[in-house]
Chain A
Amino acid sequence: MAVLALMSLLVSVGCGGSPTAPGGAGQQASDADASVTLSDLTAELEGLDPAARRQELIRIAKEEGGVVSFYGSTNPEDVDPVLAAFTKDTGIKVENYRASTSDVLRRIQEEASAGHAGADVVISGRAEYTQLRKSDLLATYTTPVAEQIHDGGVQDDGIDVYRVLRIVLWNTNRIPADQAPKTWEDVFEKYPGELILDPTDWDWFATFTKSYLMGRKGMTEQQALDYWKRVVKNAVVIKGHTLGTQLVTSGENAISAVNYQHGLPPEGAPVEWRPPMWPVIEDSTLISILKNTRRPASALLLTEYFLTDAQPILYEGGRSPANTTAPSAWPKEYDDLTVPIDHSLYEDEGEANRWIALYEEVLRGAGRASK
């Protein structure tokens, strides 16, 4: 019986490459390449004003089936109002699959290698966007809306939706204003046993080390690592930004080095993050269209909606939209403090894993939560 089961498994699984290789895209992906259709579509819509353009896209989207499928690791509180507004304004329904950013990536890769067109549009973090791009799963597209997006936020197969900023957060009951950190050295050295570091922030660690310790302070890589190993004794490893923010809000820990600016507790909580210090490492989430989509017009419609009408809605959720015409939770006066995350890390897996290993080595020397 076991032999029968095994054989049938092997037969059904016989095609496809190694499970450890990312998704084997292109081996069995559908022949559809939405890039071509999208380029034709863009040419067709050339010269139309935004309202007419939208109406035309809605018309074609309805012919495509009136449904669009959207995968993202987005927050339901932010995105559900956007999707509801989209359906109300356009009449197109949205099927939303939501999971962690790495689960979304895995699912898209597996679907593509099995020739299954699951997602039309995807919103993902930069790391996952880079993986999707390298697996040749993204369609190229252009849109007039791109002109409104902040500098550096437009690629040919992905456009920034909102900015992700990581800031230092401290508890104002534990650290009164006159003792608040003014430099990064304060953050790392002034509060022994209180500083929270999160083991998933390897990309922040790499970018910060390169831009601040090696760039501004002129250290070599080895000197920077030695510095880290010295100061990490003052830190405690807490996995999960949510938990880290909770611990700072409740005063269990006084300060956290890396918090998401959009994840701040509500007004009235005894926390502070201003003024932020250079560098504030900035990442983004990007919206892309899948190459094997069978509904390119619907996909383009949703994409443009996310980049325009949705932006003020995202701001109300505490986000910093990428569209420069929309209000932002990130104050404009702090714009020159931001440094983009080092994209080369995502392009070069060897380099990425080198920094992951260095960060793990540093964190091994972290202090204990108890004193």
Chain B
Amino acid sequence: MVSEDPEVDSASRRGLLAAAGAGLAGALVAGCGGSSLKAQVHNARPVLHSDVDLLNHLLDLEHWAIAAYTAATPLLPPATVKAGKLFLSDELSHAGDLAGLVRAAGGKPIKPRPSYPLGHPHGSAEVLGVLHTVERALITAYLDAIPRLRPGTVKQQVASIFANDAQHLAVVRAALHEPAVPSAFVTGRD
């Protein structure tokens, strides 16, 4: 079902989740009713143990993104600070979801590193540039991982994260006064 006013409904869903304290890994609900995607994954075939390293690599990159948004958001131009906070929240959700997949595969989720190489950006454009670099790296890694993951429900779950990071990238690019959607295919190279 498609909403009459999709953004309003979606924004309300985000608010409801926050209000309900439903966070991180449990936050995924399919957009059209029915059981949550996470439940579908758990009710379907198990996540393969052989995918633990791949999922932990993605989780490591999400930890990097969390560090980047945490450091960068206070330095963003005022008009984009709310986006930075929102995207940090998204990355935390992604990390929680990936950690859940690692556990479902019988693995141990990788922990955040003590620090991450974020450089020493000067000015809002360079700060946005760091976020651009991080989001592109995430997209490249997800595109490499998605076809290798099994079963199909895990591909879907990880692709749903990938597409959200692509949305972040579009907003970051727009803030950098670059075309938000430069190509018909998201590759991470733009």
A binds B: no
